[in-house]
Structure 1
Amino acid sequence: MNYMEQITYALSFIEKQLTEKVTLDEVASAAGYSKYHFQRLFFHVTGETVGQYISKRRLTEAAKALSLEQKSVTEVAFTYGFDSHEAFTRAFTKRFGLPPSALRRSGKMPRYTMLERIELPYLENIQLQSIEPLYVPAHEELNLVGYSSATRSTTDIIHCWNRLGQKIDMQKNQKRYGVLRYPDAFGLSLSFAYFAGIPTAEHVGTDGLESLTLPASGYLVFPHKGSVQNLKLTYQYIYGSWITHASASDQLYARYDFEYYDHRFLGNDHPDSLCFIYIPVLARE
């Protein structure tokens, strides 16, 4: 069974649990992964964290129930796992731009903010299946400056880079780092954090910028060639396929990974662009 099929199992499990309590452990188990690897894989496949995806699906089905079945707001709130009428109203209004009572009266569905169940096609990528990482045993500490954002979707990542580009006149060959940080504790309500930055030494004056230090570490380095739109395919390969067959000697560090861009990166859509994904390793026996 490949990782896309396993994610499909997880999505099917989520659909069956939209009106029930569900934990990250249960969803990850349905996919056959540990929760640590599953959170990363799910994000890179769907563009959503597990918790955010479940929340959007529940609110979408709640909107349908209010519009088509004319159930009461309180009944729908409790059906889709909200603890109170007030909590449901806040989440619903934030998502759709109008309170549930207004949608119930009008019967008009919010078209562009609905999230239907994701149907994943069967994917095979022969090129990705041939990727083998380079092991870098002792990468020095990295001191970066840039911008961070709580990451609930890929649009947040784009926003980080846009902010950095507005603040700093980045040169074409400048070294850039995109760091995806994962929480210490894993649960459905948690987001990842993304940091877009450059080395501190390459920027004079850090006013208004955030700083981030990554410890010295060994890394497994995976190359990615081509459009950044397909970067998620490389992540899917790493966390969905390669990691399930990784050597037992590689003790991966679950807190973060990062993308590295330099002069070999020729642009977001250039077919020969090259960047690198660094996965920290605690130890290699």
Structure 2
Amino acid sequence: MDYIDHIQMAIVYIEDNLKNKINLTDCAKVSGYSDYHFLRIFKESTGITPGKYIKRRRISEVAKLIMIDHSYMFKAAYEYGFNSYENFLRAFKNEHHVTPIEYKLNDNSLHLYNKIDLYKLRDERNNLSPKPRIIQLAPIHLYGYLHKSSFKTSLKDVPTFWNRYNCGRLGEKLLPQADNTRRYDYGVAIVNHENESFEYFIGVESCENIPNTDHITLPAGTYVSFTTPTADSFTFVDTIHRTWKYINEWFRTSDYIKLKGYEFERYCEKSYTYSEEILIPVKKKER
């Protein structure tokens, strides 16, 4: 029995008791580790501490119930261990930077935390292989909003920016005449390695100037395109993260190298296909 078996047993215990009181010692005992070793190995295996995992799982389960029945929100929060609705609201907003009501009204994808299955994650890491396409793009003019982030916090910040954008219906406001089921929103990473700065732009493509917005132009050139596997609203963000990890591995053995420039993603939130295209400027390696 290896560490995956031990930690997965603890995860099953946590999942079975999400509506009950859970303490670290009981989780460690189930896994067969001391408290100290359980904390260390759990974080190494999942990327987060047991406490954060429990909190995020409880918030996520309530979020799923919110979409089914708005009136059940209050009861669900109590059922999953929040001692007051105000505490749940605070925890939800701290996690997603939108309120439960905004999430409910706009029906947008959140980075929810489903039960971790370490065996499945291991298989997905080994089998995830979206097929790359090399394409030529003409310049693309984008109008929207620029957000400041950092290399350290970007994995959490970018989903937060999207939550605010979608819940605020900013794409609709940028292009009010567009069909929302066909409108593509763009997310662009603006990286400056020399200054160690990271900014993220979200907006829409437009041939005409949109007042009171930030504007960037994606330059014409050669790009490699990856399409993320189809997911659902609960697993979409995690699928994007896993696809980016695969892309970074792909570059190590491919015939192409990244160029300095905009790496971007585009997708249609209201298509409900929960798949996006990721594009990166490249050039072929010289032989």
TM-score, length-scaled by structure 2: 0.42
The structure in which a higher percent of residues are helix is 2
Q: Which has the higher contact order (CA 8 A, sep 6+)?
A: 1
TM-score, length-scaled by structure 1: 0.42
